Amino acid sequence: MDPRAAADIDLGTAELLALYRTTGPLTRAEVSERTGWARMTVNSRLDRLVDLGLLEPHGQTTAARGRPATRFRFHAGRGALLVADIGASGMRLALCDLGGAVRRRVDVPVDIAAGPDAVLGEVERHFDQMVAAEGVAGAVWGVGASLPGPVEYATGTIVEPPIMTGWNGTRVPDRFGPRYGVPVVVENDVNAMARGEQATCYPDVADLLFVKTGTGVGAGVIANGAVLRGAQGAAGDIGHTWADAGEAGPRPLCRCGKQGCVESYASGWAIVRDLVAAGRSVTSVDQVVELVLNGDPVATSLVRDAGRVIGASLAHVVSLLNPSVIVVGGQLAAADEHLLAGIRERIYARSLPLATRELQITRSRLDGDAGVLGLARGVADTVLSPAVLTGRAAS
């Protein structure tokens, strides 16, 4: 079904779909009990969603007497979403259903500094391949992209990114919107990861911090159940804050052009730099992790020190925002306790006791899928929102 065919439903029908997406299977009577709508209204709205293929029968109730009632559920397979979680040196692309479940994915190396035309062109090429392979041409409802830099969320515009040469002012929806004819959601990469981790692994946690430790360092904040982006979309950019590294001498130059940032000490690229200076032949974060897991003493020491630098920065965040959970993801997180131990050491030593009393600090469970899952959820919430489904929002 062409997603634009759903844009003529009324507000009540759109609200009924939202109810099914959040609560799961319901009978007509259960809908009436929850909404207070008259039986005729429930029947009309439910039948409309069934006709559109957005609801489907899902078993029957067991009745002591009388006829069993049919349950209905949201039909996530009725459409597809295309999402691209783009990092500095690699990206994960996925085709998902309307419920956010991944149906097909591919990992692609990328150099973000190659610029928007090269990177987004590669995204489009793989999107087209996935659409063809899944046979969902005409059934794409929305597109999502996350990028490793500040994003003006309302317009999908990249704003003065420290490491994304040539991207400043790029309005990503202007690239994908005309091509696919659907709404486009653009997010900072760590915000997408935070949303994916919280929704998938910690649905009952309202305050969560996701820390990405890969080529760069960044954080995504879930506060009171929602992504905290800040006034200009720059919230969570701890990688370019002043590092507490305990040095009196010259501070290293960061990729953003400043000296002494957290990234200049604790990022994947900084550890690669220091390992090369120590005589190790490494070119990537994955090779750093391999050295650590194989017991290389220099690599292990550098990763542990990186954890301490990141932890010192996070200690301020913990005291300020008081999250329940800190999740550490990204390539460097594969070093596991060698990294986490340093993070925990500084947070517990420097944050308020009340803020750390029940704090969990743990590694991501999603094996690199946090970004695509968070993006898929954000795109689904947009394209299935009452504003879009009733045609009251521009795509």
pTM: 0.89
Average pLDDT, the chain: 92
Q: Supply the pLDDT for residue 260.
A: 93
- Is the pLDDT assigned to residue 228 strictly greater than 70? yes
Tell me the pLDDT tens digit for each residue of 357-370.
Answer: 999 999 999 988 99
Helical pair 28-35 and 39-51, crossing angle rounded to 10 deg = 120
Distance CA 114, CA 134 (A): 29
CATH number for position 22: 1.10.10.10
Phi first, then psi: give them for residue 255, nearest 5 degrees: -65, -20
- Whether 240 is covered by a domain: the verdict is yes
What does the pLDDT average to over 34-39?
95
Quick one: 104 and 189 in the same domain? yes
- Residue 8's CB: how many other CB atoms inside 10 A? 12
Q: Supply the pLDDT for residue 62.
A: 66
- Is the pLDDT assigned to residue 117 strictly greater than 80? yes
- Is the pLDDT assigned to residue 5 strictly greater than 70? no
Quick one: 376 and 363 in the same domain? no
Task: Please choose, from the candidates 156, 126, 161, the residue with its C-alpha nearest in 3D space to the C-alpha of residue 144.
Answer: 156
Angle ∠(262,172,198) on CA atoms, nearest 5: 55
- Whether 376 is covered by a domain: the verdict is yes
Indicate the pLDDT class of residue 395, thresholds 50, 70 and 90.
very low
Indicate the pLDDT class of residue 244, thresholds 50, 70 and 90.
confident
Our count of domains for the chain comes to 3
- Whether 394 is covered by a domain: the verdict is no
- Whether 354 is covered by a domain: the verdict is yes
Indicate the pLDDT class of residue 334, thresholds 50, 70 and 90.
very high
Quick one: 205 and 260 in the same domain? yes
Of 51, 77, 103, which residue sits at a domain end? 77
Tell me the pLDDT tens digit for each residue of 144-154.
Answer: 999 988 899 88
Quick one: 189 and 287 in the same domain? no
Distance CA 369, CA 332 (A): 15
Percentage, residues of the chain above pLDDT 70: 95
- Three-class SS string for the chain? CCHHHHHHCCHHHHHHHHHHHHHCCEEHHHHHHHHCCCHHHHHHHHHHHHHCCCEEEEEECCCCCCCCCEEEEECHHHCEEEEEEECCCEEEEEEEECCCCEEEEEEEECCHHHCHHHHHHHHHHHHHHHHHHHCCCCCEEEEEEEECCCEECCCCEECCCCCCCCCCCCECHHHHHHHHCCCEEEEEHHHHHHHHHHHHHCCCCCCEEEEEECCCEEEEEEECCEECCCCCCCCCCHHHCECCCCCCCCCCECCCCCECEHHHHHCHHHHHHHHHHCCCCCCCHHHHHHHHHCCCHHHHHHHHHHHHHHHHHHHHHHHHHCCCEEEEECHHHHHCHHHHHHHHHHHHHHCCHHHHCCCEEEECCCCCCHHHHHHHHHHHHHHCCHHHHCCCCCC
Quick one: 364 and 338 in the same domain? yes
Quick one: 138 and 12 in the same domain? no
The token pair at 79 is: 């459409």
The token pair at 299 is: 């690599």
- Whether 116 is covered by a domain: the verdict is yes
Quick one: 125 and 152 in the same domain? yes
Quick one: 18 and 144 in the same domain? no
Angle ∠(233,234,238) on CA atoms, nearest 5: 150
| More confidently predicted of 198 and 245 | 198
Indicate the pLDDT class of residue 394, thresholds 50, 70 and 90.
very low
Q: Supply the pLDDT for residue 59.
A: 82
- Residue numbers of the domain that contains 16: 3-77
- Whether 237 is covered by a domain: the verdict is yes
- Whether 395 is covered by a domain: the verdict is no
Q: Is residue 223 packed enough to be buried (19+ CB in 10 Å), middle (13-18) or exposed (0-12)?
A: middle
Quick one: 354 and 211 in the same domain? yes
CATH number for position 147: 3.30.420.40
- Is the pLDDT assigned to residue 1 strictly greater than 70? no
Quick one: 116 and 173 in the same domain? yes
The token pair at 392 is: 């009251």
Q: Supply the pLDDT for residue 175.
A: 94
Quick one: 233 and 313 in the same domain? yes
70-74 and 80-86 strand pairing? unpaired
In sequence order, what are the residues at sequence separation of 6 or more whose Cβ sits closer than 8 angstroms to the Cβ of residue 158? Answer: 116, 147, 149, 150, 151, 152, 164, 167, 168, 169, 170, 171, 172
Cα-to-chain-centroid distance, residue 158: 17
Of 30, 57, 77, which residue sits at a domain end? 77
- Is the pLDDT assigned to residue 107 strictly greater than 50? yes
Of 58, 77, 96, which residue sits at a domain end? 77
Tell me the pLDDT tens digit for each residue of 52-94.
Answer: 999 999 887 665 566 788 999 999 999 999 999 998 888 999 9
Indicate the pLDDT class of residue 233, thresholds 50, 70 and 90.
confident
Quick one: 53 and 84 in the same domain? no
